[in-house]
Chain A
Amino acid sequence: MESLPIEVIGSILSRLAAARDVVVASATCRKWLEARRKHLRSLSFSVGDWSGYRDYGSSQAGIWITQTIFQTAGLESLSLQLDDVDEELSASAVVAWLLYTRETLRSLRYNVRTIGDVNILEICGRQKLENLVLSHNSISGVEPNYYRFAGLKSLSLSHVSISALDLSLLVSTCPKLEKLDLISPVIAMSDAQVTVEVSSATLRHFYIEATSLDKFVLEADSIESLHLKSCSLELFELIGKGTLKHFKIDDVSVLHLDIGDAVDNLDTVDVRDFTITSPKFFQMISKSAKLRRLRLWDLMFDDEDEIVEIETIALCFPQLSHLSLSCDLRDEVLLYGLHGCFHFENVVVLELGWTFLNDLFSDWVKLMLKCCPNLKKLIINGVVSDLKTHEERQLLANFTLAIVCVMREYVNIEVVFVYK
């Protein structure tokens, strides 16, 4: 240990990150103390790590944090999770921390309740920031001519109040943005309809969660992954150049979904807990001949004509290697083409699940196994928490027995059970 260079000690202390741990460890010897003073790159102050930031009162905590930050030089990553406090921190103290570190700071996680506003954009714009995670804050009056986040690659806004216009302008001030996460954004509604339009030529990953909007239009010529979760939208439109590789929808309701015509590069489509309201959805992805992973889970179809037949999946996606299907087999068993003869030549991992178990499920499993000649792994994923009556439990017992027989027949396939 004594042979480690001081920069490496700094690197190790940086990985401790939690301020108290860093301060205590640096009291080990002179070299470690100097490492904290000159070579510490990462520091974190979080009520989750130490309740003292809350229990000793905000003004005392503010003094200790100021002291510790001012003892560093060249900090590159700062995390401030001081939201769960009884009294707000002084804005001037927080501003002092940001001003002190801004010349070298590359990553900032900011979730602080302050008396008075702290304009993060103004303090940190025009600096080296590459990663910004902002929570429980508000952004207003974005001035694209006044500052630019020239180096910002990743932006995450969680429970942030911002107008649709300011969001659009903010993204335009980030010429290198690659990743954008919007979690529970509070988008001010000035008119009856709220349309959010975001445009970025460099954006590769977009994630939006827990929002309810009328229209969201994303223009992103370099987009690779798109993930919508727990959203309720009238319209979501992606305008791009067919670069999308990973498309994930989870617990979403959207009336009009459009990811463009050029879906040639789609590699993964993961759809769960989604109400399909338009015929275009499957049509939209059906041209993705390169698709390798597909999940259709807990889908609801507004219109019976939209129900997807497994045969169609096999025909459209010859390269498929991972397939996950769940369904409510009470009525749709015939519609799933149990008598079809189709093969998933390349599927190596098959996941089948139920929300309501019935005795048709094991037959479906057997049929699917016949259609996957090169299968290596079978995952059975089912909801068992609501199997309460004797009959229901007997169903599970029968199902288990059926699968045991299946496993005896297909000895080379690994079987995994996931029960919820």
Chain B
Amino acid sequence: MDPSEVEFLAEKELVKIIPNFNLDKLYLIGGDLGPFNPGLPLDVPVWLALNLKQRQKCRVVPPDWMDVEKLEEMRELERKAAAFTPAPSPYYMELTKLLLNHASDNIPKADEIRTLVKDIWDTRIAKLRLSADSFISQQEAHAKLDNLTLMEINTIRGFLLDSLNCLYKLRSNLQSGSSKGRLADF
């Protein structure tokens, strides 16, 4: 999977906007989007929010989790816990990038938020790397990781599966016929 595909899936998430125009209810394949009235907030998917923002037809309201104090708390929790803590949002990385690139003037303290989200991402990816490393070195049969987001899984998927495949080939050459360490194919 390409990171841009993950971003595309992230654009389905809902975000609050305040439009400045009038429009009746929209009936789209993915669902209905409520009537647009100037000054009244409503939820729309991110792709529509960004399009309207670029055409200067709305103001974007940052999601609840995109707040400096909350992100600081989450970052501390993440650093202390050994396992993965629940992520701010299943698509926190993509949403941060999209909203801060196109609507940073509607989001207060955008630079600090960018830094905090990057810190959280770095901590989680480090944990992921450690866990993958121990999985391979201890030749475990299966592992279970909670609270991973799709972007993180996608980041490690290619490397992990390729390396496991290589190990399998090496092992099956050394001990031909032995069924030790049967690895699931993807």
Asked if chains A and B come from one complex, the reply is: no
